[in-house]
């Protein structure tokens, strides 16, 4: 029996409530700031209670943008982020399913060689090879395009390993039965492996969507045309864009909108998210 | 590495299946990495007309360069600060949440969502809260007699980026610590309680040692995160300043390559960073190998 007295439980709750408050605090401040008008920020400290300008601010950033501060309407940027995140997530899942299938269900020369090539991607994040990767994308004429934004990022060792691990747990009898019924490799993949992998695919999708949505350095490098800006990198342009103090109420409205889609994904798919996060790290 | 006992026989299909992954890896990962290694041995003149082979000169120049040595030091402080701050807060939360029964899921929900926030956005949020003229925290700090100014004071800027980077990472560490705590057999803790060990003593002599594999794993993951995934935090806020105080290695590679156009030096820095990732990945995977096999 472990003691679990009232007071220590109260203390634990107190610490947690304080902790949660601290964790939420920055976002709370952002939401509050996005409901005030620009004047508020010129006069001293930010208020901690909501203002009345929310509707005004949000419609401004979404549909009008502020050309003076160098930002197009964010509706376009949101759409770009969405396309980029979806392409990256689905692309990673598709090509990783295929390569895991090849590695687990076939024996062929150079199998290990290919496995190591895929493994190498883990050791070469884009941050460590910025300039030469930019040069390759530029040489291929992929600057300022959705292909350039997404394709270079869809190679994935973690996704391949996850699917490999999962395929290894599928009983041998599945393949035996399928072969007895005369199913070829592609039919086996489509009718047996894919349906069995749905949960893993969904879990991975949650993680990879967030990964794609939150890309920053990559769109920063390869887009110069505002028509291809993504929302997360667009915020930086708003903060450091002009010479004057940023228009904080509009910046914070944009921050709230930019953070919302991935947060909603996590909150509504928490179970899948936790599964995806813990499994991909194995 | 194993396959299934039973496999398909096909001459070219497996290569076709692997092709998309391998081609993308070759074009966008391996080729640029090879280019970085090659360029790190070259030096371009200021106009990009002439390129000469200089051997390891770029590397020796780096290690004689005060700015680079400074970036190394800054990265070390930043990574360790971020990792320790984020992990210790997450561990505290996880231990507390693990004691709850009914409210466990509720607290977890409240603590996991910052994972969704991009590093750049985390930076902007804290940059705003710490804003010297309108931010809330400088206002409070002033009551304590601290004149906060991250635009002029390097230490303040460093604290700011560490807090922003650590805040976003708490969720991740929390989830792994909580999973680790839940896998510790309750009987061990009860046995110690019967022997009269206090709560604190039980934590340090039983729980913490049993968590050490996860702690070690998180240590590596967090250092990788702080070193390579926090470009956005720096770029969207301090831009490496004031006076180089937050110029981490990844940010410096970007600056030297794109802003100052010093390609040889930037490539040499890339190669050093690759070496660091390789070492960290090997450590991580050697450890995971053991975790899987026990």
In angstroms, the separation between the Cα of residue A21 and the nearest Cα of chain B is 9
Element (H or E) spanning A95, and its range?
helix A74-105
Q: Tell me which residue of B99, B244, B87, B111 sits closest to B177, measured CA to CA.
A: B87
State the Cα–Cα distance between residues A266 and A268, nearest whole angstrom.
Answer: 6
In angstroms, the separation between the Cα of residue B67 and the nearest Cα of chain A is 18
| pLDDT 10s digits, A30-66 | 998 888 887 777 776 677 788 778 888 888 888 776 6
Domain count, chain A: 2
A103–B97: do the CB atoms touch at under 8 Å? no
State the Cα–Cα distance between residues A69 and A253, nearest whole angstrom.
Answer: 15
| pLDDT, mean of each 10-residue run, chain A (282 residues) | 70 91 92 83 75 81 67 84 95 95 91 89 84 90 91 91 90 87 89 92 92 92 87 83 72 90 90 81 54
| B292 — pLDDT class (breaks 50, 70, 90) | very low
Burial string for B196-220 (b: 16+ CB within 10 Å, else e) reads: ebebeebbeebbeebbeebbebbbb
Q: Which residue in the set B7, B129, B254 is minimally distant from A107, CB to CB?
A: B7
pLDDT score recorded for residue A66: 62
Residue at a domain's end among A49, A68, A87: A68
Where are the extended beta strands (E) located within chain B?
42-44, 51-53
| pLDDT 10s digits, A131-176 | 889 989 999 998 999 999 999 999 988 899 889 989 998 888 888 8
CB atoms under 10 Å from CB of B3, counted, come to 16
| pLDDT 10s digits, B71-85 | 999 999 999 999 999
State the Cα–Cα distance between residues B251 and B233, nearest whole angstrom.
Answer: 10
Residues A116 and A17 in one domain: no
Residues A87 and A61 in one domain: no
Residues 6+ apart with CB under 8 A from A126: A133, A152, A153, A217, A218
Question: Is residue B97 within 8 angstroms of chain A, CB to CB?
Answer: yes
Q: What percent of chain B has pLDDT over 90?
A: 41
Q: Looking at per-residue confidence, does B293 or B179 come out higher?
A: B179
Q: Tell me which residue of A209, A207, A215, A212 sits closest to A233, measured CA to CA.
A: A215
Residue at a domain's end among A46, A68, A90: A68
Residues A116 and A62 in one domain: no
Does residue A1 lie in a domain region?
no
B116–A265: do the CB atoms touch at under 8 Å? yes
Burial string for B227-239 (b: 16+ CB within 10 Å, else e) reads: bbbbbbbbbbbbe
**Cis amide bond preceding B199, omega within 30:** no
Instruction: Tell me the C-alpha to C-alpha distance, in Å, between residue A219 and each of A119, A169, A255, B118, B131.
Output: 24, 38, 17, 13, 27
CATH ID of B57-183+211-293, from 1.10.3720.10, 1.25.40.10, 1.10.150.110, 3.30.365.10: 1.10.3720.10
In angstroms, the separation between the Cα of residue A90 and the nearest Cα of chain B is 13
Report how many Cβ contacts below 8 Å link chain A to chain B. 307
B6–A176: do the CB atoms touch at under 8 Å? yes
Structural domain span for residue A12 = 6-68
Instruction: Identify all chain B residues contacting A134, using CB atoms and an 8 Å cutoff.
Output: 258
A255–B124: do the CB atoms touch at under 8 Å? yes
Gap between the terminal Cα atoms of chain A: 34
Residues A208 and A269 in one domain: yes
- Tell me the mean pLDDT in the region B209-217: 88
Instruction: Identify all chain B residues contacting A173, using CB atoms and an 8 Å cutoff.
Output: none
pLDDT score recorded for residue A25: 92
Q: Which residue in the set A41, A134, A185 is minimally distant from B8, CB to CB?
A: A185
Evaluate whether A258 touches A235 at the Cβ level (below 8 Å). Answer: yes
Residues A61 and A111 in one domain: no
B254–A176: do the CB atoms touch at under 8 Å? no
Specify the CATH number for the domain of residue A209.
1.10.3720.10
Q: Give the position of tokens 């970007």.
A: B254
Element (H or E) spanning A248, and its range?
helix A248-268
């Amino acid at each position: 029996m472990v003691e679990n007295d009232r007071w220590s439980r109260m203390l634990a709750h107190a610490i947690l409530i304080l902790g949660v408050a601290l964790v939420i605090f920055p976002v709370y401040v952002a939401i509050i700031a996005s409901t005030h008008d620009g004047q508020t920020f010129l006069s001293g400290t930010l208020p901690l209670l909501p203002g009345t300008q929310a509707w005004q601010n949000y419609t401004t950033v979404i549909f009008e943008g502020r050309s003076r501060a160098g930002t197009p309407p964010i509706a376009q940027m949101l759409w770009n982020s969405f396309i980029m995140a979806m392409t990256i997530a689905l692309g990673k899942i598709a090509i990783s399913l295929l390569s895991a299938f090849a590695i687990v269900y076939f024996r062929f020369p150079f199998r290990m060689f290919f496995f190591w090539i895929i493994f190498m991607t883990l050791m070469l994040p884009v941050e460590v090879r910025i300039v030469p990767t930019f040069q390759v994308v530029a040489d291929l004429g992929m600057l300022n395009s959705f292909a350039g934004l997404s394709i270079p990022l869809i190679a994935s060792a973690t996704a391949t390993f996850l699917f490999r691990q999962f395929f290894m747990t599928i009983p041998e009898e599945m393949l035996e039965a399928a072969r007895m019924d005369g199913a070829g490799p592609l039919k086996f993949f489509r009718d047996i492996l894919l349906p069995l992998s749905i949960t893993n695919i969904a879990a991975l999708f949650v993680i990879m969507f967030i990964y794609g949505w939150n890309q920053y350095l990559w769109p920063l490098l390869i887009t110069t045309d505002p028509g291809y800006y993504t929302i997360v990198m667009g915020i930086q342009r708003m903060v450091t864009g002009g010479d004057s103090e940023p228009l904080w109420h509009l910046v914070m409205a944009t921050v709230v909108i930019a953070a919302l889609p991935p947060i909603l994904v996590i909150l509504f798919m928490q179970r899948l998210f936790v599964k995806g996060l813990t499994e991909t790290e194995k | 590495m194993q396959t299934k006992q039973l496999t398909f026989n096909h001459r070219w299909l497996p290569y076709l299946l692997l092709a998309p992954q391998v081609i993308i890896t070759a074009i966008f990962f391996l080729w640029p990495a090879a280019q970085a290694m090659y360029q790190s041995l070259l030096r371009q003149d200021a106009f990009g007309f002439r390129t000469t082979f200089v051997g390891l000169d770029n590397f020796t120049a780096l290690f004689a360069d005060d700015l680079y040595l400074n970036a190394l030091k800054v990265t070390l402080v930043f990574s360790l600060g971020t990792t320790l701050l984020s992990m210790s807060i997450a561990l505290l939360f996880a231990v507390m949440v693990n004691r709850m029964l009914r409210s466990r899921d509720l607290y977890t929900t409240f603590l996991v969502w910052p994972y969704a926030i991009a590093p750049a956005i985390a930076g902007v949020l804290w940059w705003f809260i710490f804003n010297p003229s309108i931010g809330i925290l400088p206002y409070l700090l002033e009551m304590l007699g601290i004149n906060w100014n991250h635009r002029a004071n390097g230490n303040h800027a460093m604290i700011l980026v560490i807090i922003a980077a650590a805040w976003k990472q708490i969720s991740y560490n929390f989830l792994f610590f909580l999973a680790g705590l839940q896998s510790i057999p309750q009987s061990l803790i009860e046995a110690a309680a019967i022997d009269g060990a206090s709560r604190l003593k039980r934590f340090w002599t039983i729980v913490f040692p049993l968590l050490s594999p996860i702690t070690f794993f998180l240590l590596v993951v967090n250092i990788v995160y702080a070193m390579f995934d926090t470009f956005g935090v720096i770029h969207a806020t301090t831009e490496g300043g004031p006076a180089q105080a937050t110029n981490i290695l990844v940010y410096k590679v970007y600056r030297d390559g794109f802003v100052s156009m010093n390609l040889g030096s930037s490539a040499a820095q890339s190669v050093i960073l690759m070496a660091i990732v390789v070492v960290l990945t090997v450590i991580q995977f050697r450890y995971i190998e053991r975790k899987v096999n026990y």
